[in-house]
Amino acid sequence: MDVTDVTDAGAVVARARQGDSEAFQTLVERHSRRAFQLAYRMTGNEQDAEDVVQEAFIRAYRQLNRFEARAHFSTWLHRIVANCSVDLIRSRRSRYDHASTDDLAPTEQPETGDANPERLAASAQIEQKVASAMSELSPLERAAFTLRHYEGRSIAEIGKTLGLGTSATKHSVFRAVRKLRAALEPLRGES
């Protein structure tokens, strides 16, 4: 992103803060895809990710006044999406307990002529196991692990995003890793 983009983004956000709905529409159009990717990784479910994206933009619109002009809108929105995901996982916890094992299951494996069927099957099994283990994590463990492992965010950034101290953030990641290791242990010999 060059300086022009940043300036332009700043102007768009400023107009949106003044209630200009077209400016907010521009922000929605620019950031939706990235927001969806994050929401999907956080929730592990396409429909939930759609709900999170909508909720995040509605929340962002309501709180535009809290956005600091010198910050990046994408960073601010990232934080909102992450927290909306945690809220949604909390509120649908019972559903996750029973259903989300299938959510991240590979529904459509790419068909490649030279793929080894055994390898594909093993990979699908691992994905299923990971999805199942992820659904057993607490919302904060899941969020912290997703942000660290999938999104490559630092512990400090994750703490800031989730409103946790450094120690609490680290321990959320540790607990998540421990649970995932335990869940994947039986597959280690096969992979």
Partner 1 sequence: MSKHYSEEDLILYYYEERPRRAEVERHLDSCAQCAAAYRDLASTLKMIATPEAPERDEQYGLEVWQRIRHQLPEQEMPWWSAWFRADRLALAGAFAVLVVAARVAGRWWSAGTVVAPPVASLGTAKPSAADDAGNANALNQAGRDRILLSSVAEHLDRSDRVLTDIMNARAGGDLSAEKRWAEDLVATNRLYRQDATDAGEHSVALLLDELERSLLAIVHTPSRATAARLDEIRRRIDAASLLFKVRVLGNELRQRESVPDNRTPRALAAQRS
Stretch that binds partner 1, among 3-11, 68-76, 86-94, 123-131 (CB under 8 A): 123-131
Cβ-based nearer residue to partner 1, 37 or 138: 37
User: Which token pair is 118?
Assistant: 């055994």
Binding partner 1 by CB under 8 A: which of 10, 128, 136, 187? 187
Are the CB atoms for 174 and 128 separated by under 8 Å? Answer: no
How far is the C-alpha of 58 from the C-alpha of 125, rounded, in Å? Answer: 37
Is 149 near partner 1 (CB under 8 A)? yes
Q: Which of residues 18-57 bind partner 1 (CB under 8 A)?
A: 19, 21, 24-25, 28-33, 36-37, 40-41, 44, 46, 49, 53-54, 57
Are the CB atoms for 56 and 80 separated by under 8 Å? Answer: yes
DSSP-based three-state secondary structure for 20: coil
Least distance between partner 1 and beta carbon 75 (Å): 18
How far is the C-alpha of 143 from the C-alpha of 161, rounded, in Å? Answer: 10
Are the CB atoms for 84 and 58 separated by under 8 Å? Answer: no
Binding partner 1 by CB under 8 A: which of 23, 104, 143, 144? 104
- Least Cα distance to 131 among 120, 119, 146 occurs for 146
Are the CB atoms for 46 and 40 separated by under 8 Å? Answer: yes
Contacting residues toward partner 1, per CB under 8 A: 17, 19, 21, 24-25, 28-33, 36-37, 40-41, 44, 46, 49, 53-54, 57-58, 61-66, 104, 107-108, 126-127, 130, 148-150, 154-155, 170, 173-174, 177-178, 180-181, 184-185, 187-188, 191
